[in-house]
Copies of this chain bind each other. A is one copy, B any other.
C-alpha cells in the first residue's frame, strides 16, 4: 500500500504496522491486503465490487478491520460490503474512510454497508471519515448503511467525521425486531464550504425494541449541515433521538427530526438544540487561565466526546 494510505490508516484505525485477525484494506478501489480469521470469513463478491463478511457464532471479542482509502483525485470508488452476523456472535468492526487529493480532480468514496444481525448477536461498529490533501478537487464520502436487527440483537454504531470532507450525504436505515437495540453516536465536523447531510430512518417493528440516536455536530466557516431523522414506532418500543449542534463563524445547521407513533405502546422522544457556545462557558474557562481559543477548543472537545477536533 502507498504512503498516503498508511497515513490515512493511522488516522482512521490507529494502524501501526499490521492488523491482527481479520481485515481487508481497500486502496483506490482495489484490495491492498486481506486476511480472514477462523471465525470471520471475508469473501470477495462475484457480482459487484465489495465483500461478504461472515461472522460465525463462535466469534467473541474479535475485531475485524475494513478501512477504505482513496489517495488521489479522479477516483470515484463504489463498494458494497455485507455483514452476515450469526446468532450469538459478539464482534467489533472497525471501518473508516479517508479521501485524499492533491489535484483538481475529485476523490470520492461510496460505501454501501448492509448488516444482518441474527438472534442475540452484538456488533460494535466504529467508523471515522477524514479528507486530506491540498488539491482543489472535492473530497466526498457518501456512506449508505442498512441494518436488519434480529430478535434480541444489538448494534452500536460510533461514527465520526473528523474534517476535510467537502461533501457528504450519510444515509442510515434500520429495522428492529423484538428486543433489538440500536445505538448510534454520530459526530460531524465541517468547515470552509463543506456540506454534510445525515439522514436516519429507524423502524421499530418488534415489541421491546429500542433505539438511541445521538448526533452532535460543529459547523465552522461557511459550512452547512442538515440533520434528518425518522423514528417509527409500530409496537411496544422506545425511541430517543437527539441532535445537538454548535454554530461557529457563519456555520449553519438545520434539523428535521420526525416521530411517527403508530401504536399506543410506542414511546418516542426527540430533543434538538442548535446554537453557539454559551458565552458564560467561555468566560468560566478564561478565568481558569485559558485563552479564548483554547477555551473554545476544550468545550468542543467535550461536546464531541473526545473526537479530535480539526
A256 at the interface (CB under 8 A from B): yes
Q: Are B266 and A262 in contact (CB under 8 A)?
A: no
Q: How large is the interface on A (under 10, 10 to 19, 20 to 34, 35 or more residues)?
A: 20 to 34
Shortest beta-carbon distance, A205 to chain B, in Å? 16
In the assembled complex, A273 has its CB within 8 A of some CB on chain B: yes
Let me know if A270 and B248 touch, CB within 8 A.
Answer: no
Tell me what chain A mostly uses at the interface: helix, strand, loop, or mixed.
strand
Copies of this subunit: 2
A252 interface residue, CB < 8 Å from B?
Answer: yes
What B residues does A267 contact at CB under 8 A? Answer: 273-276
What is the minimal beta-carbon distance from A239 to any residue of chain B, in angstroms? 9
Q: Are B245 and A261 in contact (CB under 8 A)?
A: yes
Q: Contact at B265–A276, with CB atoms within 8 Å?
A: yes
B-chain residues with CB within 8 Å of residue A301 when the two chains form the complex: none
What is the 8 Å Cβ interface bit string for chain A, positions 240-272, against chain B (1 contact, 0 not)?
A: 000001011111111111111111111111111
Contact of A258 among B233, B248, B249, B256 (CB under 8 A): B256
Query: How distant is the Cα of A46 from the Cα of B251 in the complex, in angstroms?
Result: 49
When the two chains form their complex, are residues B259 and A274 in contact, meaning their CB atoms are under 8 A apart?
yes
Interface residues of A in 78-129 (CB under 8 A from B): none
* Subset of 9 A-B contacts with CB under 8 Å: A247-B263, A252-B262, A254-B258, A261-B274, A265-B276, A267-B275, A268-B274, A269-B275, A271-B271
